Amino acid sequence: MNLLQYVQSGHVRFDLPDFKTGDIVKVHGRIIEGEKERIQVYEGVVLRRAGASTSATFTVRKISNGIGVERVFPVHSPRILKVEVVSSGKVRRSRIYYLRNLQGKAAKLKKISDLTAN
């Protein structure tokens, strides 16, 4: 193990659940506004996971007032308190950017729990 890996190993988080592209997640993030601090929940579909070790990130997309909003979160950031997996979607790609061009029912993903019930 080289020096860089040794330093990065101290910042890796193991308390986050295993989530993947297509899952609907709630990300609880710590927001600091001036001297006040609050927790904001950001819920949406995971479009992608990228990177490895401490530089890993994931992109979450949600629709807010009819406008698509995407946000990139570092996986091992101390500002992320927790990540909850609401449901798992069935996708066949690791990057589901095609959701950006879809609206309404077409933008819905099939849930894995619905597929196992049949």
Q: What is the DSSP letter of 55?
A: G
Interval 56-64 mean pLDDT: 91
CA pair distance 91, 20, nearest whole angstrom: 10
- Domains of the chain (ranges; CATH) run 3-117 (2.30.30.790)
Mean pLDDT computed over every residue of the chain: 85
pLDDT digits (tens, 9 = 90+) for 61-109: 998 888 889 999 998 888 999 999 998 888 888 888 888 887 777 877 8
Does 30 score more than 80 pLDDT? Answer: yes
Q: Which residue has the higher pLDDT, 25 or 100?
A: 25
CA pair distance 24, 58, nearest whole angstrom: 12
The SS3 assignment for 53 reads: helix
| pTM to 2 decimal places | 0.81
Contact 88, 114 (CB under 8 A): no
pLDDT band at 16 (very low <50, low <70, confident <90, very high): confident
pLDDT band at 1 (very low <50, low <70, confident <90, very high): low
